[in-house]
């Protein structure tokens, strides 16, 4: 049985029309007109226990609206949601006890309290047993180095420290599901890797199901095997990340260091896109040539010092899908324009 079930989920918002002038403003007091915005349009998916899923899309695609319905903050216009057997908006308190939520630009800590006191308050709110609380704090401190700022008020924390504190707070009560919204936003390279390592740790060793929304495609590549791609309130793709690469990543780059400078390099089906000294960047179509075939052909004609292969970045592939306005059916039937 799936931990999260979403069936034909829709969410509409009514937005009041603003009429110009004093007369229009007075008229709106008595006869207000509305326009309807469809934020989520017939979305369906299921997520199993222990999965780590990237839920991605451009701004306004419906990601945050979906997450708010899954957490019980918003009520769907139609459709069904079950999170571990609960209907979130009908059973908000019970649902809150089984989920953790981290919003990258908002904190769930009390602004003027030291970090440790916020943890103590959460302990009381969720009625966490003392032994379990101590075990969790010890684990989080070991991985996230919380000790260095536990006595510091939240308002004085750096962004990296606040994110570490927020993810620890979201996991204090041992939730089954963790919703992460931009968990690495604004972090430096070291802090990002520390955060990713922690997320992998709690997913692997505690079986926490993770739903990750982010604009940083490096987070998706390094953490998630499955990706749900959403645009204009609809699911465009739901499946393995590797399949996106295999389907749309037809172009690869072979980086070759020759023993000596080659002025007249040429090979059928290969394009030299860059050169620096004896190094050449060679672009080829993986459906026409395999890397091993090319390496063999090149080594027959030239002396090679070193060689490596570069796959296209997932961010570029996703951007191409959005720019071509692919529908769900087209994602795997029309590959000619990518």
Which SS3 state, helix, strand or coil, does residue 62 take?
A: coil
pLDDT for residue 209 = 95
Long-range contacts of 286-295 (CB under 8 A, 24+ apart): 286/249, 286/250, 286/251, 286/252, 287/250, 291/252, 291/254, 294/254, 294/267, 294/270, 295/254
If you average pLDDT over every residue of the chain, what do you get?
A: 82
pLDDT mean over 154-181: 87
Residue environment code for 111-124, b if the CB has 16+ CB neighbours within 10 A, otherwise e: eeebbbbbbeebbe
The alpha helices in the chain, defined as continuous H runs, are 21-30, 63-70, 92-98, 115-125, 130-144, 159-171, 189-206, 217-223, 241-248, 291-301, 314-323
Q: Which residue has the higher pLDDT, 103 or 198?
A: 198
pLDDT for residue 285 = 78
φ, ψ of residue 54 in degrees (nearest 5): -90, 125
Q: Is pLDDT of 26 > 80?
A: no
pLDDT for residue 335 = 42
* Number of Cβ atoms within 10 Å of the Cβ of 209: 22
């Amino acid at each position: 049985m799936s931990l999260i079930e979403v069936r034909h989920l829709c969410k509409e918002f009514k937005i009041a029309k603003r009429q110009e002038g004093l007369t229009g403003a007075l008229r709106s007091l008595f006869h207000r007109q509305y326009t309807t915005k469809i934020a989520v349009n017939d979305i369906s998916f299921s997520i199993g226990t222990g999965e780590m899923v990237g839920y991605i899309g451009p701004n306004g695609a419906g990601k945050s609206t979906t997450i708010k319905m899954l957490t019980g903050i918003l009520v769907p216009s139609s459709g069904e949601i079950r999170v571990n057997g609960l209907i979130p908006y009908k059973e908000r308190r019970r649902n809150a006890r089984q989920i953790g939520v981290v919003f990258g630009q908002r904190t769930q800590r009390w602004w003027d309290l030291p970090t440790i006191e916020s943890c103590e308050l959460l302990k009381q709110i969720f009625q966490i047993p003392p032994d379990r609380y101590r075990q969790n704090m010890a684990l989080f401190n070991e991985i996230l180095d919380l000790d260095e700022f536990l006595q510091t008020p939240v308002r004085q924390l750096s962004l990296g420290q606040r994110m570490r504190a927020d993810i620890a707070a979201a996991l204090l009560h041992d939730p089954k599901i963790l919703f992460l919204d931009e968990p690495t936003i604004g972090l430096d390279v070291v802090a990002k890797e520390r955060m990713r390592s922690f997320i992998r740790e709690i997913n692997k060793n505690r079986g926490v199901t993770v739903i990750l929304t982010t604009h940083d495609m490096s987070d998706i590549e390094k953490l998630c095997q499955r990706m749900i791609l959403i645009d204009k309130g609809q699911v465009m793709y739901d499946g393995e990340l590797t399949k996106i690469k295999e389907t749309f990543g037809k172009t690869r780059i072979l980086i070759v260091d020759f023993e000596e400078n080659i002025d007249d390099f040429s090979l059928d089906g290969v394009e030299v896109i860059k050169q620096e000294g004896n190094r050449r960047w060679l672009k080829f179509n993986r459906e026409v040539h395999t890397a091993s075939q090319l390496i063999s052909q090149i080594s027959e004609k030239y002396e090679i010092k070193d060689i490596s292969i570069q796959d296209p970045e997932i961010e570029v592939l996703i951007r191409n899908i959005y720019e071509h306005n692919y529908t769900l059916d087209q994602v795997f039937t029309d590959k000619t324009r990518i």
